[in-house]
């Protein structure tokens, strides 16, 4: 079981919320506790200012939040790449990369949402709580963050990407129409366009993890993929429920990945 411990998949030493994960001896047991982790982080995080009250409807105008102050005018969007920390905004003549920008047309569903500095939420993205989003992260047009989500620093939740009850660690990116359900993406994981992390078996039975000659019953009806640090999944690949992928693994485009454990540095190149 040493292979399935949390430290075998992720380096938590520099992760801002790493302390919440270290206690888990079996990595999949993190997934049912993500909701509680969200609330624990929300207690410490700075939530959206009280003057921001555009919940449950699309923003009618672009809003900039900086140092706890909401700006509805008096700013200029200069642009850049939020995930690289260089999205520039000029507020009252002073340029900064620390401002959070909510573009007109996005929806913040409720007050159980925390956004870090330098975050950009593009038009038509919808975010439900509880959700915590770290610094310099980009949530692109049409993204659907369904709640019970933790997104780290320098991440990308991409165009029409759907995410629920999942964690993206620092530097993780799902840039284009992905599905992330009941899953954990380690640091600097990249999902190619159209990747789907399936989380529910068609027979609705509990997810079991294949490990060598063993089969471990997780007791979870919903469990997507746990993807170790630095791994990459090619375009249009699909993981079946209960995939545990070691760090620095690679999945070729278009591959169906069967449920089970894959050691570090795996190259999964054939269809399941």
Q: So what's the pLDDT on residue 252?
A: 97
Residue 91 lies in a domain: no
In a domain, 66, yes or no: no
Residue 252 lies in a domain: yes
pTM for the whole structure: 0.96
**188-220 residue pLDDT tens:** 999 999 999 999 999 989 999 988 788 999 999
pLDDT on residue 271: 60
Residue 87: strand, helix, or coil: coil
70 lies in some domain: no
Flag the least confident range among 42-51, 102-111, 124-133, 145-154: 42-51
Domain of residue 224: give its range.
2-48+103-268
Does residue 61 form part of some domain?
no
Query: What pLDDT, on a 0 to 100 scale, did the predictor assign at position 1?
Result: 65
pLDDT digits 0-9 by tens, 135-190 = 999 999 999 999 999 999 999 999 999 999 999 999 999 999 999 999 999 999 99
In a domain, 72, yes or no: no
Count of Cβ atoms closer than 10 Å to residue 272 Cβ: 12
Using the predicted structure, report yes or no on whether residue 52 has a pLDDT greater than 90: no
pLDDT tens per residue across span 79-91: 999 999 999 999 9
Report yes or no on 92 lying in a domain. no
What's 181's domain CATH number?
Answer: 2.160.10.10
Q: For residue 59, tell me if it sits in a domain.
A: no
Beta strand extents in 72-205 (DSSP E only)? 75-79, 88-91, 94-96, 100-102, 107-108, 113-115, 120-121, 126-127, 131-133, 138-139, 144-145, 149-151, 156-159, 162-164, 166-168, 173-176, 179-181, 184-185, 190-191, 196-197
Separation CA 116–CA 98 (nearest Å): 9
**Total domains, the chain:** 1
For residue 272, is pLDDT > 70? Answer: no
Please give the pLDDT value at position 210: 86
pLDDT digits (tens, 9 = 90+) for 55-82: 889 999 999 999 999 999 999 999 999 9
């Amino acid at each position: 079981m040493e292979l399935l411990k949390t430290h075998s998949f992720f380096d938590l030493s520099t992760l801002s919320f790493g302390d919440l994960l270290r206690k888990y001896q079996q990595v999949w047991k993190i997934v049912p506790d993500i909701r509680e982790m969200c609330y624990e982080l929300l207690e410490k995080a700075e939530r959206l200012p009280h003057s921001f009250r555009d919940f449950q409807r699309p923003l009618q105008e672009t809003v900039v939040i900086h140092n706890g102050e909401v700006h509805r005018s008096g700013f200029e969007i200069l642009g850049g790449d939020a995930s690289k920390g260089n999205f520039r905004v000029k507020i009252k003549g002073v340029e900064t990369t620390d401002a959070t920008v909510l573009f007109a047309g996005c929806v913040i569903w409720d007050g159980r949402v925390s956004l870090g500095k330098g975050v950009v939420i593009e038009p038509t993205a919808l975010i439900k709580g509880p959700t915590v989003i770290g610094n310099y992260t980009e949530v692109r047009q049409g993204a659907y963050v369904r709640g019970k989500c933790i997104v780290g620093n320098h991440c990308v939740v991409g165009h029409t990407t759907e995410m629920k009850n999942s964690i993206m660690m620092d530097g993780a990116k799902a840039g284009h129409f992905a599905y992330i359900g009941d899953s954990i993406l380690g640091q600097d994981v990249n999902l190619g366009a159209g990747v789907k992390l399936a989380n529910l078996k068609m027979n609705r039975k509990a997810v079991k993890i294949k490990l060598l000659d063993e089969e471990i019953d997780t007791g979870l009806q919903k469990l997507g993929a746990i993807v170790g640090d630095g791994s990459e999944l090619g375009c249009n690949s699909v993981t079946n429920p209960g995939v545990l992928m070691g760090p620095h693994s690679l999945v070729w485009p278009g591959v169906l990945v069967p449920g089970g454990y894959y050691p570090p540095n795996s190259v999964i190149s054939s269809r399941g």
